[in-house]
Amino acid sequence: MVGSIDNRNRNVYLNGTMQNNNGLEEKLDELRTFLGKTNSDPLRIVGVGAGAWGSVFAALLQDSYGQFRDKVQIRIWRRAGRAIDRATAERLFEVINSREDVLRRLIRRCAYLKYVEARLGDRTLYADEILKDGFCLNMIDTPLCPLKVVTNLQEAVWDADIVVNGLPSTETREVFEEISKYWKERITVPIIISLAKGIEAALEPVPHLITPTQMIKRATGTPIENILYLGGPNIASEIYNKEYANARLCGAEKWRKPLAKFLRQPHFIVWDNSDLVTHEVMGGLKNVYAIGAGMVAALTKESATSKSVYFAHCTSEMIFITHLLSEEPERLAGPLLADTYVTLLKGRNAWYGQMIAKGELSRDMGDSISGKGMIQSLMINNINANPWPLSVQGVSAVGAFYELLSQSSLNVLHPEENKPVAPVQLCPILKTLYKILITGEQSPQAILEALRDETLNDPRERIEIAQSHVFYRPSLLGQP
């Protein structure tokens, strides 16, 4: 950590900026006491996974609390061996030289020369290597503070008090099953904060969703009251650049209240909520419709009217789906719309939709995009069959929700035809995205045709249908 502390006014200079530390040590001491830490035992926080959000989260903690080295240890784990291509190295070099504070920091650390060599093609850089200098591979344009990086998973997690899951949902189960091997001799139960938004859909024994917190519980045996979810509305790079942002910490009251206070900063307001699983599902659902928003923006050259019409239809479908998932869906309206709005404005999934519509990406290129990381997806997994291959090929979130909501066991009464239909039949945008992204039956242009279909009902009517009928299916979230 670079910086000097002025004990007279409790200010610290970090990463070229000045932060006021009034109250930080007190908040840290309060959490340490709550966790029963002794004076000689530091609070150990580890991030697992170093994507954009995972890296920013660890860097936020390091920026705020890293100065109290005798009281807290903050580190992040990522797999070793991910090489950076020359084009990325060249871009990284440009970013370094455009930021005097970063340039000076690297020179002081005797680390600048390796970036010169990488720019010339004389050296290969690795993702874990640059992360130690404060550069996230999925967010090259936003330099972070230097981080303590560990590439051995056992070393990273075996004694951690707080583990932050920054993995894609498709990797969460596998990695936490590995972690569980290192926790067999633990006396205390760790706290886990999951940042993952993707989810899995299972069809047996009944159609239901599996969220990352549930995956972690099953993999490690950690009680669900010790597992929390942190979601938006926010954009990772904006948070680290000290732009105003919000987050919502969901889970049991015992931990979410003190952790929300610990995480809260003047520019990063952390709310808390008891509804864990439904907020996780909503975090994945809005990514589905963000892809379509990107398509509409690209196809209409950012037409404000077309984007607003799409927003009306996609939010009405999401509200309809919340009535299937939640007994009290009105409590989700604000968080869902806020998180959806920011994702449509500046999210990776909206970017992906734009690139698909422009023909610059193919739906067969998969979920992992160079420079963007994992486009959050869902995997559909029939317990009696193999995982659906679209978890690897293409963006599978659309496919998973489509398959889940196509099940006849979830039938609802069609308001006009007065007959039972699968819920997906009341979601025309979702159906269109499925035909574009999954089956390839239609081109991206179909999303505009769906919006301009003269038989398409006012989206207000879908909301009224949802509000006037009892659609709630507790089994969808694994409830009895």
DSSP string, 25-49: HHHHHHHHHHTT--TTS-EEEEEE-
Detail the DSSP E strand segments found in 151-206. Answer: 162-165, 191-194, 200-202
Q: CB 225: neighbour CB atoms within 10 A?
A: 16
Burial tier of 326 (Cβ tally within 10 Å: 0-12, 13-18, 19+): buried
First vs last C-alpha separation in the chain:
49
Q: What is the DSSP letter of 83?
A: B
| Whole-angstrom distance, CA of residue 53 vs CA of residue 193 | 12
- Which one of 286, 358, 372, 435 is the catalytic residue? 286
Tell me if the bond preceding 420 is cis, omega within 30° of 0: no
| Whole-angstrom distance, CA of residue 238 vs CA of residue 376 | 19
User: Which residue bears the tokens 């990463």?
Assistant: 15
With beta carbons less than 8 A apart as the criterion, state whether 288 and 433 touch: yes
For the packed helices 304-325 and 276-299, what is the interaxial angle rounded to 10 degrees?
Answer: 160
| Whole-angstrom distance, CA of residue 426 vs CA of residue 412 | 9
Tell me if the bond preceding 205 is cis, omega within 30° of 0: yes
| Whole-angstrom distance, CA of residue 352 vs CA of residue 74 | 33
With beta carbons less than 8 A apart as the criterion, state whether 278 and 255 touch: no
| Whole-angstrom distance, CA of residue 119 vs CA of residue 97 | 12
Tell me the residue type at 383: I
Catalytic site residue 217? no
With beta carbons less than 8 A apart as the criterion, state whether 137 and 84 touch: yes
Q: Which of 426, 431, 471 is nearest to 450 (CA)?
A: 431
All residues at 6 or more sequence positions from 450 whose CB lies less than 8 Å from its CB, including other chains: 428, 429, 432, 456
Residues annotated catalytic, as ranges: 286
